[in-house]
Amino acid sequence: MRIRNILDSRAFLWTLLALPSVPMVLALVNGAAAEDGRPVTEFLLHPTGEFAARFMIISMIISPFRIMFPKNGFWIWMLRRRRYFGVAAFAYAAFHTVLYLIDMGSLQAVLGEFWAFGIWTGWLAFFIFLPMAITSNDASVRLLGRRWKPLQRTVYLAAIATLLHWMFVHNEFGPALVHFVPLALLEAYRIHKTFLSGSTQAAA
């Protein structure tokens, strides 16, 4: 089955994960300001941040869906590739952070607003992402052993920080909640299943 082989290949998944960045990079190379006059670095802040959040959320919903559909092949397939989604989330978050630094223009401006609520929450999420991304390879999994999982679980804190960052920096709650409410519901389901149903056979 040739198609199956392609779908299962690393190159295919990397391509898929990199796809949303193509229009972003093209816009950046083009360098033209958005229709409403925003410079391209400011305009791209939103899509880069949004895809960072989306890939983080995708990596986080795999476990709840595995519990919900234990025999489903797709979620098993996804579980094997979870680290890729996490690394993609970090890559978009790094892109987002670089754009922010360029857009702000000076270290003084960046530090000047560091403690604004919508900003430090973003930095917190980024600095939680960093060690997770660095250790998302086979060598680190082997090296860290039983400590690998607790490190990756700091993603829950990053998720809360990301949600707050999104809501407050954007001064608008709707779009952030559209992304995070499904995640919260799935996590609630997972907690219910894991701790309240007596079944300790949690997937992942």
Partner 1 sequence: MNYTLHTATSLLSCFFALPACATGMFECEATEKSAWLTETQVTEKLTSDGWQVRRMKEDGGCWEVYGTTPEGQRVEVYVHPVSGEVLLINQRGTILYRKEG
Which one among 18, 173, 185, 199 touches partner 1, defined by CB under 8 A? 173
Determine if 168 is a binding residue for partner 1 (CB under 8 A). yes
Q: Is the Cβ of residue 36 or residue 138 nearer to partner 1 in the bound state?
A: 36
Match 């952030």 to its residue by tokens. 176
Determine if 109 is a binding residue for partner 1 (CB under 8 A). yes
Which one among 117, 127, 156, 195 touches partner 1, defined by CB under 8 A? 117
In angstroms, rounded to a whole number, what is the distance separating the alpha carbons of residues 180 and 176? 6
The amino acid at 194: T
Determine if 119 is a binding residue for partner 1 (CB under 8 A). yes
Q: H helices of 44-154, where?
A: 45-68, 73-80, 82-104, 107-112, 117-134, 138-144, 148-152
The amino acid at 39: P
Contact predicate 79/62, CB 8 Å: yes
In angstroms, rounded to a whole number, what is the distance separating the alpha carbons of residues 97 and 124? 12
Which one among 18, 116, 143, 191 touches partner 1, defined by CB under 8 A? 116
Per CB under 8 A, which region of 6-14, 85-93, 109-117, 132-140 contacts partner 1?
109-117
Q: Which residues of this protein are in contact with partner 1, per CB under 8 A?
A: 36-38, 104, 108-109, 112-113, 115-119, 167-169, 171-174, 177-178
